[in-house]
Structures are given as C-alpha cells and as structure tokens.
C-alpha cells in the first residue's frame, strides 16, 4: 500500500510505535483520542515524511510532541523537525513529560488555545 505522506517503512514503524507508547503518551492519548478534546480528530504516532510525531490533528494542521530529558541533547534535531513541519503548514506544540504528568489541565488548555487559532 502506498502512503502519500510517508514511505511504507516509516508507516510500518509508526504502527509499531502505537503499540509501544510511553506512559506519558498513553496518559495524554486518553484525553485526545476519539474526538474527546473539542471534538477534534487526533492521530497517535502519525508519520509525516521521514518523521513520526507523537500526536497530530491533520485537519487542524497541529502536531503535539512530548519531550523527555533526551530532548535536552537533541535541540538541533528537534528544531530541524519543527522547521520541516512548519514548511508544510503545521503548527508544533511541545510539552515536557513532567508537564503532562503534573499539570494535565494546563497542557489541555494550551492545546485548546492552539486549536482556536
């Protein structure tokens, strides 16, 4: 099967990652899935080009990335990813894992604010 937005290899890897979500990803996904937030459709582990994003609302062109401590060492790579997505019309929101774990309401409010734009 051909995928317009990615390669079959990346698509397959994204599918595998959906079954291996981290605790933080799972916690946020329970709030985003099934149109639970503002009746918006989100996808988890969504492949775009050679990248896989944590969550994406394709129709709203919004990407949500959750960052753990490893992202402190890959600032340049994350900036490259963000630039790639922005060139394709996406907006990218990034949250630290501890924000999702300790302040879910603030995370959801930030996402809702971005969805209103």
Structural domains of the chain sorted by starting position, each given as residue range(s) with its CATH number in brackets: 8-115 (3.40.960.10)
**pLDDT classification of 77: cutoffs 50, 70, 90:** very high
**Rounded mean pLDDT of 58-87?**
88
Cα–Cα distance measured from residue 59 to residue 36, given in angstroms and rounded to the nearest whole number: 15
Do 32 and 42 meet the contact criterion of CB atoms below 8 Å apart?
yes
pLDDT at 5 (0 to 100):
74
Q: Please give the model's pTM, rounded to 2 decimal places.
A: 0.87
Model pLDDT for residues 18-53, shown as the tens digit of each residue: 778 999 999 999 999 999 999 999 999 999 999 999
**pLDDT classification of 70: cutoffs 50, 70, 90:** low
Cα–Cα distance measured from residue 112 to residue 117, given in angstroms and rounded to the nearest whole number: 9
Is residue 15 pLDDT above 80, yes or no? no
Percentage above 90 pLDDT, the chain: 74
CA nearest neighbour of 92 among 42, 116, 56? 56
């Amino acid at each position: 099967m051909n995928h317009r937005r990615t390669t079959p290899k990346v698509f397959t890897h994204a599918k595998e990652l959906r079954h291996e979500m981290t605790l933080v990803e799972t916690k946020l996904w329970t709030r985003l899935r099934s149109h639970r937030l503002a009746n918006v459709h989100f996808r988890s582990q969504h492949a775009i080009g050679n990248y896989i994003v944590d969550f994406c609302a394709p129709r709203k062109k919004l990407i949500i990335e959750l960052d753990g401590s490893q992202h402190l060492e890959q600032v340049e790579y994350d900036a490259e990813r963000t630039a790639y997505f922005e060139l394709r019309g996406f907006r990218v929101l990034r949250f630290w894992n501890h924000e999702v774990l300790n302040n879910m309401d603030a995370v959801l409010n930030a996402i809702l604010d971005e969805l209103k734009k």
